[in-house]
Amino acid sequence: VKVLVVANPANTNCLILKKNAPSIPSENFTCLTRLDSNRAKSQIALKARVNPSDVYNVTIWGNHSATQYPDAMNGYLIRNNVRKTIPEVITDTAWLRGSFISTIQQRGKAIIDARKLSSAMSAANAIGNHLRSWLVTGTKEGETISMGVWSNGNPYGVRDGLIFSFPLEVKTPGRYTIASGFEIDSFANTKIRSSEAELLEELAVAESILRSS
């Protein structure tokens, strides 16, 4: 059994489901952050004037919410057949740490406000991307994807016991590992801890509701 939770709050819903299905391995529970990742890649591609398919390893850290941290600083792109890090091409650090992040964090709300409808087709496409990468194709050497997964044993100091979005490698379809070696500076760490704190708050509320029901 492999599980993908989409409905918000996706991370916490996934965690509640995991806690109530103990016979299923923890690593088989995931939640969707691929839609955020696709949006982030598109924003980087637009800024760098490349195709989104030439943008790699842009990561969504944390919760599928307005506290998520879209991280382009560890990503790279291919332009004119040359591989370069994203900060080498997009030297506007204020944009990478400012409006780029807020645009991705608020994109879902902005679409609903403008259309009065959610981006259902984009979400469906992201679900397909998520499942294909996880269960069918895996990832190529040096490439990562973003999914919300069980946080236990992660190399970034995120609290155990959460469903948290990380950069993942899928070397064998159906089996992922949290990618190590991503550089986390003080700015990134603050963003990641903020999303972690929100998930802990959501968990406390959910447990309180379940106890009283």
Rounded Cα gap, residues 173 and 2, in angstroms = 12
Question: Is residue 130 annotated as part of the catalytic site, yes or no?
Answer: no
Using only the alpha carbons of the chain, give its radius of gyration.
17
Could you say which of 34, 41, 64, 107 is catalytic? 64
Classify residue 155 by its DSSP letter. Answer: T
Helix (H, G, I), strand (E, B) or coil at 145: strand
SS (H, E, C) 96-136: HCCHHHHHHHHHHHHHHHHHCCCCHHHHHHHHHHHHHHHHH
The three-point CA angle 184-179-69 to 5° equals 45
Q: Please name the helix (run of DSSP H) or strand (run of DSSP E) that holds residue 40, with its range, or none.
A: helix 34-48
Rounded Cα gap, residues 208 and 79, in angstroms = 51
Of 43, 47, 70, 45, give the one whose Cα is nearest residue 59.
70
Which positions are annotated as active-site residues?
A: 64
